Amino acid sequence: MKSLIDIQELSTAEIDKLIEIANDIILNPSKYSEKCKGKKLATLFYEPSTRTRLSFEAAMYELGGNVLGFASSDNSSASKGESVADTVRVVSDYVDIIAIRHPKEGAPLVASMHSLVPIINAGDGGHNHPTQTLADLLTIKREKGTFDNLTIGMCGDLKFGRTVHSLIGAMSRYQNVKFVLISPEELKIPSYIKQEILDEKNIDYVETRSLEEAIPDLDILYMTRVQRERFFNEDDYLRLKDTYILNEKKIIKAKSDLSILHPLPRVNEIAVEIDNDPRACYFKQTLNGKYIRMALILKLLGVE
């Protein structure tokens, strides 16, 4: 039994295979419509979600399987004090695979130690979000045709943004990738990401506060929301939340083939006037999330 807790657990060949299957699902959805007949997915979400939970559920239904679970810890026995370990041990008797989101870093790893079935990390605190990264990778591959030779701007909350941490980890394995890390001082990328990934792999990166100065060089601009739920102090959030707002004026100097990504939800950081720009990829990204999660469910269940 294999789980997916961190994107780094997947080899480059495994990522390529998942992307190949997701692309085949997009072309031939009916071929996959009964692949998980008789199988059940549990979605155990201790933290709010729209895309991740519903795309996991849609993914399982489109594979012919069934879904059960909870969308809030208030609706589960966690509200009575039950541990993640006990909850997962019990639920793993009822289902074939579990996707879990939790505000505490490491909770999905703990879950994987107590589960009888594969666990998928659907986001743990400010740590990791591997299936969002798979959706990002599928989107980059479909938009750019390659992962190599790309200059990637990561903009916004690089401190708490778990999707940023996972995507840097995943993209650092490809050739001649450069990162431009755009954030206010208070929301800079954690030093462990710099030391354990960027420095360790000798990746070219710069840190800057200025989106305007960075934008002309970028092939991909990955915007992120300031993660209100991870702040200890509301005043700090209010001061930082609108540091970056991407609008038509700001992308005048961008490349004509820039791809604008955002894991969503967005608050103010991308003006709605950008939505109709052909470079906006964030709604394609959410749809890609469903297809790549279908591919991942097939892989972890060992379905050919």
The catalytic residue positions are 51-52, 80, 101, 129
Under rule CB under 6 A, residue 264 binds ligand CP: yes
In the bound state with ligand CP, the residue whose beta carbon lies nearer, of 101 and 142, is 101
Binding region for ligand CP (CB under 6 A) out of 153-161, 209-217, 258-266, 271-279:
258-266
| Among the listed residues 167, 263, 292, 297, the single contact to ligand CP using CB under 6 A | 263
Site string for ligand CP, 226-245 (x = CB under 6 A): --------------------
Residue 161 touching ligand CP (CB under 6 A): no
Q: Does 132 bind ligand CP (CB under 6 A)?
A: yes
**Angle, CA of 251, 241 and 164, to the nearest 5°:** 70
Task: For the CB of residue 265, give the shortest distance to ligand CP in the complex, in Å.
Answer: 6
Q: How many residues bind ligand CP (CB under 6 A)?
A: 9
Considering only 3, 52, 128, 183, the residue that binds ligand CP (CB under 6 A) is 52
Q: Tokens for 88? A: 């997962």
Closest to ligand CP by CB, 169 or 263: 263
Closest to ligand CP by CB, 203 vs 221, is 221
288 in contact with ligand CP (CB under 6 A): no
Residue type at position 233: N
Query: Which residues touch 100 (CB under 8 Å, ≥6 apart)?
Result: 43, 44, 45, 46, 84, 88, 107, 108, 111, 119, 120, 121, 122
- Does 285 bind ligand CP (CB under 6 A)? Our answer is no
Gap between the Cα atoms of 42 and 57, Å rounded: 9
What are the residues whose beta carbons fall under 8 Å from the beta carbon of 194, sequence distance 6 or more?
205
Only one of the segments 4-12, 47-55, 78-86, 113-121 lies at the binding site for ligand CP (rule: CB under 6 A); that segment is: 47-55
Enumerate the β-bridge partners of residue 41.
67, 97
Taking CB under 6 A as the criterion, the residue among 108, 118, 123, 153 binding ligand CP is 123
Q: By CB under 6 A, which span of 72-80, 91-99, 196-204, 257-265 interacts with ligand CP?
A: 257-265
Separation of alpha carbons 272 and 296, rounded Å: 32
Query: Under the criterion CB under 6 A, does residue 108 sit at the interface with ligand CP?
Result: no
Tell me if 30 sits within 8 A of 4, measured CB to CB.
no
**CA torsion through residues 142, 50, 167, 64, sign:** negative
Segment lying near ligand CP (by CB under 6 A), choices 32-40, 195-203, 214-222, 260-268: 260-268
**Minimum distance between the CB of residue 242 and ligand CP, rounded to whole angstroms?**
20
Angle between helices 130-144 and 162-171 (to 10 degrees): 50
Structural contact between residues 101 and 69, judged by C-beta atoms closer than 8 angstroms: no
- Rounded to a whole number of angstroms, the minimum distance from the CB of residue 135 to ligand CP is 8
Do residues 73 and 65 make contact, with C-beta atoms less than 8 angstroms apart?
A: no
Angle at which helix 130-144 crosses helix 51-62, to 10 degrees, equals 80
Is residue 72 near ligand CP by the rule CB under 6 A? no
Instruction: Please state, in angstroms and rounded to a whole number, the distance separating the CA atoms of residues 7 and 155.
Output: 21
Which residue, chain included where needed, has tokens 């609008």? 247
Among 11, 12, 28, 50, binds ligand CP (CB under 6 A): 50
**Which residues, other chains included, contact 148 with Cβ-Cβ below 8 Å and sequence gap of 6+?**
174, 175, 176, 177
- For ligand CP, the binding residues (CB under 6 A) are 49-52, 123, 132, 263-265
